Amino acid sequence: MKSNLKIRNVCCIGAGYVGGPTMAVFADKCPNIKFVVVDKNKDRINGWNSENAKSLPVFEPGLEKIIRKTRGENLFFTSDLQQSISNADMVFISVNTPTKEKGLGAGQASDIKWVEVSAREIAKNAKGFTIVVEKSTMPVRTAETIKDILSAAEINSYKTKSFSVLSNPEFLAEGTAINDLENPDRVLIGGDDKDSIDLLSSLYANWVNPEKIIKTNLWSSELSKLAANAFLAQRISSINSIGALCELTGANISEVAHAIGADTRIGNKFLNAGPGFGGSCFRKDLLNLAYLSRHFGLPEVANYWESVIDLNNWQRDRISKVVVEKLFGTVSGKVISIFGFSFKANTNDTRDSPSIKVVQDLLEEGALLYIHDPKVTASQIEEVLKIKQNCFTDKDFIQKTENAYWQYSKSVRESLINSDAAIFLTDWEDYKNIDWNSLSKLMRVPAWIFDCRAILSRESIVEAKLNYWRLGDGSNI
């Protein structure tokens, strides 16, 4: 029966950074299949259904165009979970799996409560045979929990319902999500039912070369996703550790990265030193990997992966220390511009952004901060910092207050007015061609530019008579 099944209706639970873009690309590539993305968050669904491009909950280059093409044709966003599941032949679970905040494993294990809720909703509302696909990043062996819940429903329904569970982790990176989805390095499908694997594979085959579709057992697939993120994060901690050594020895991290990356065994990607990795996944997945390793009796393995996070924390925390040191040991009452609040360029996502900690540290030191980001809004920053913005351009106000303040800035120019320093934390294109010759005159001298992404031109900044510090660059000494 299963081999005759055709997939006509797909439901995706979770309309976030993964569910929204992934289903949009599926809908574009599989015009004969209907995709319904469902979320309990009604504001998010309204955002996805909005005609105003700025209201889309996720900013990704190329996303808006695909949404305009497919939405209302074969792509739909709704909060009607029950109906969407009962119509579906295949249900993707694409809900959040954050680090647990309390209870057993708090601060380490991934919280799969929303996965469990989704499995229970599928168990209750599905009709006939349904393929359930883990799209979220799950701790290895989560499929067992999902299968247990679904098997109980199979028995209770006297087998009028039946299920197959697959793991199909997502490898897209934010900022390049559409390109990553359209041209994936590989697609990974884990499972134990060949017919179901072939059905999911046939959807991808609409645009992905079958040679790129890797088929494994469930546990290899679940673990490969955690391992891939851990390896990527480890590369960043490795390059950042060498960058710190460059600063003290006269070496230059861009040159070192180029030299080591030319070895094809190492490869030249993911070797950019920076303020440490951010985003919703690397820290969470490393913590989870360490937790699982310890759980399975492998403390040495856990310690190894935890050291990647330790290095990342150290890297992120040392930025504000460098800034304070260069500004004569104090930033109290000084105006500092923060450029970039998202965790990387081309996304409006601020989750675990290194900028958050740098900003918190400088506010703690009493600095007055302008914060600029091309896509992150003032209200997002207020929500993350849990501090309302204040206008501090009034000189009297600055002199009379002992408190630290931040203010949203709409342009690079506005940010630099009266600034003692500017810190570049996100590698947005907008920051790469600043006219330092004219804008330097707006700053209070002696002023400093801190380039934590190696995106600015040392020559033009030094020519404009500003002091320049670049992360990982031994010419600072």
Residue 316 contact, options ligand UGA, ligand NAD, none, Cβ 5-8 Å cut-off depending on partner type: none
Judged by beta carbon distances under 5 to 8 A according to partner kind, the member of ligand UGA, ligand NAD, none in contact with residue 278 is ligand UGA
Active-site position among 29, 135, 147, 225: 225
Q: Residue 314 binds which one of ligand UGA, ligand NAD, none, with CB within 5 to 8 A depending on kind?
A: none
Residue 131 CB, shortest distance to ligand UGA, in Å, is 22
Q: Which residues bind ligand NAD (CB under 6 A)?
A: 13-19, 38-41, 44, 81, 94-97, 114, 117-118, 136-137, 170, 172, 174, 280-281
Binding at 272: pick from ligand UGA, ligand NAD, none (beta carbon under 5-8 Å per type): ligand UGA
Select from ligand NAD, ligand UGA, none the partner in contact with residue 229, using the beta carbon and a kind-dependent cut-off of 5 to 8 Å: ligand UGA
Q: Which residue is nearest to ligand NAD (CB)?
A: 16
3-state SS string over the chain? CHHHCCCCEEEEECCCCCHHHHHHHHHHHCCCCEEEEECCCHHHHHHHHCCCHHHCCCCCCCHHHHHHHHECCCEEEECCHHHHHHCCCEEEECCCCCECCCCCCCCCCECCHHHHHHHHHHHHHCCEEEEEEECCCCCCCHHHHHHHHHHHHHHHCCCCEEEEEEECCCCCCCCCHHHHHHCCCCEEEECCCHHHHHHHHHHHCCCCCHHHEEEECHHHHHHHHHHHHHHHHHHHHHHHHHHHHHHHHCCEHHHHHHHHHCCCCCCCCCCCCCCCCCCCCHHHHHHHHHHHHHHCCCHHHHHHHHHHHHHHHHHHHHHHHHHHHHCCCCCCCCEEEEECCCCCCCCCCCCCCHHHHHHHHHHHCCCEEEEECCCCCHHHHHHHHCCCCCCCCCHHHHHHCCCCEEEECCCHHHHHCCCCEEEECCCCHHHCCCCHHHHHHHCCCCCEEEECCCCCCHHHHHHCCCEEEECCEHHHC
Residue closer to ligand NAD (CB basis): 171 or 314: 171
Closest CA to 23 of 91, 109, 124, 106: 91
What are phi and psi for residue 29, nearest 5 degrees?
A: -85, -20
- The residue (of 161 and 284) whose beta carbon lies closer to ligand UGA is 284
Active site residue 321: no
For the chain, how big is the Rg over CA atoms in Å? 24
Least distance (Å) from ligand UGA to the CB of residue 170? 6
Our answer to whether residue 113 is catalytic in this structure is: no
Q: Which does 473 bind (CB under 5 to 8 A by kind): ligand UGA, ligand NAD, none?
A: none
343 binds, among ligand NAD, ligand UGA, none (CB under 5 to 8 A by kind): ligand UGA
Q: Where do contacts with ligand UGA occur on this chain (CB under 6 A)?
A: 137, 170-174, 229, 232, 236, 270-272, 274, 277-279, 281-282, 343-344
Annotated active-site residue 246? The verdict is no
- Give 146 or 454: the residue with its C-beta nearer to ligand UGA: 454
Distance in angstroms (rounded) separating the CA atoms of residues 477 and 462: 15
We find the least distance from the C-beta atom of residue 241 to ligand UGA, in angstroms, to be 12
Taking the complex as a whole, the smallest distance from the CB of residue 240 to ligand UGA amounts, in Å, to 7
Nearest distance, CB of residue 54 and ligand NAD, angstroms: 18
Which partner, ligand NAD, ligand UGA, none, binds residue 417 by CB below 5 to 8 Å per kind? none
Smallest distance from ligand NAD to CB 379, Å: 17
Nearer to ligand UGA, 15 or 271 (CB): 271
Shortest reach from residue 354's CB to ligand UGA, in Å:
7
Tell me the closest approach of the beta carbon of residue 221 to ligand UGA, in angstroms.
Answer: 14
From the list 121, 170, 222, 247, the catalytic residue is 170
**Dihedral over alpha carbons 390, 391, 395, 400 (to 10 degrees):** -20
Choose between 12 and 456: whose C-beta lies nearer to ligand NAD: 12
| Closer by beta carbon to ligand UGA, 9 or else 313 | 313
For ligand NAD, the closer of residues 167 and 440 by Cβ is: 167
Q: Which of 12, 30, 281, 452 is catalytic?
A: 281
Residue type, 298: L
Q: CB nearer to ligand UGA: give 173 or 322.
A: 173
Cβ pair 97, 115 in contact under 8 A:
yes
**Catalytic center residues:** 170, 225, 281
